[in-house]
Amino acid sequence: MLRLLWTQDEVTYRGAFHELTGVGIHPRPERRIPVWIGAGNFASGGIPSDRLLRRIARTADGYKMFAPLGLNENGAVEVVDRLRAFAEAEGRDPGDLGIEARLLAQALPEDDWHDFVERWADRGITHIGLGNRIVGGSVADQVKLIEHVTHIVRG
């Protein structure tokens, strides 16, 4: 529904949760807005259900891992493999789907950060998200951590 509103002058739409008749937004975005979906929960260790992965494969431009998968690299790899298989089943090129892995700076030793990012890059992951909220501190502390991780990862 959002993609219709972002691209058409007037939208009539009926879905499971929303109904629009002759609605438009102005100004519309000048460029395509990518839609990324995060999925998973603490109870599942961050591993999304097949139902959610199918929705991502069918409708999203990207998938954002839930932070607990940053502690379970094997589980995260399995999720990525399932997601790519679902994308292919939907007739999509799995390589066109953005995927963000999670680097948890507070849980992964600093000496492993660079290799972690390299392993994900070798698997075709398009983005690395830094899970830094748990570390705490001020905004300046958070910015300093981001700069430090960036420095370490880039070598």
10 HSE (CA, 13 A, CB side): 2
Tell me the three state secondary structure of residue 73: helix
What's residue 111's pLDDT? 94
pTM of the model: 0.85
What's residue 154's pLDDT? 87
| C-alpha to C-alpha distances, 59 to 2, 71, 90, nearest whole angstrom | 12, 27, 10
What's residue 133's pLDDT? 66
What's residue 73's pLDDT? 92
Cα 114 to Cα 111: distance, rounded to the nearest angstrom: 7
| C-alpha to C-alpha distances, 103 to 25, 130, 135, nearest whole angstrom | 37, 5, 13
Is residue 69 within 8 Å of 108, Cβ to Cβ? Answer: no
Question: Does the N-terminal peptide bond of residue 27 adopt cis geometry, omega within 30 degrees of 0?
Answer: yes
Tell me the three state secondary structure of residue 139: helix
Cα 53 to Cα 142: distance, rounded to the nearest angstrom: 31
What's residue 135's pLDDT? 62
β-partners of residue 57 are: none
Residues 99-126: pLDDT tens digits?
999 999 888 999 999 999 999 999 999 9
Tell me the three state secondary structure of residue 145: helix
In the chain, which residues have pLDDT < 50?
none
What's residue 143's pLDDT? 87
